[in-house]
Amino acid sequence: MKASILPIYTEERKKDCVLRLKAAEGQLRGLQDMLEKQRPCMEVLTQLAAVQKALRQVGRIVLRNYLENCATEAIRQSDPSAYDELMEAIYKFAQ
């Protein structure tokens, strides 16, 4: 697929993703600390679930942005690789 026109993300989406990633980063650090301090398994699992949810949310935002902007533009331009890339994106995030 051809390179996207910049900016790829709106300021609002970019800020939302960055905030979520910073939160996930803090949660990951907390997980490391929890393991080092031998915290109970259920506490660690709860924190792991929170990190995974935060990352999934960022993935949803980026995927939506991809569908609304990158994929739509490539399809409009009759880019033959657009459908293959779209299918790849769907399979990556459908797991």
Q: Quick one: average pLDDT of 78-94?
A: 87
Q: Which residues contact 30 (CB under 8 A, 6 or more apart)?
A: 47
pLDDT exceeds cutoff 70 at 8: yes
b/e for 56-76, b at 16 or more Cβ within 10 A?
ebbeebbeebbeebbbeebee
Percent of the chain clearing pLDDT 70 (strictly above): 94
How far CA 68 is from CA of 31, 32, 73, 90, in Å, comes to 35, 37, 8, 14
The pLDDT value given to residue 79: 84
Taking alpha carbons only, the member of 66, 60, 69 closest to residue 86 is 66
* pLDDT band, residue 23 (cuts 50/70/90): very high
pLDDT tens-digit series, residues 50-62: 999 999 999 999 9
Sign, CA dihedral 83-61-68-1, equals negative
pLDDT exceeds cutoff 70 at 2: no
The pLDDT value given to residue 3: 54
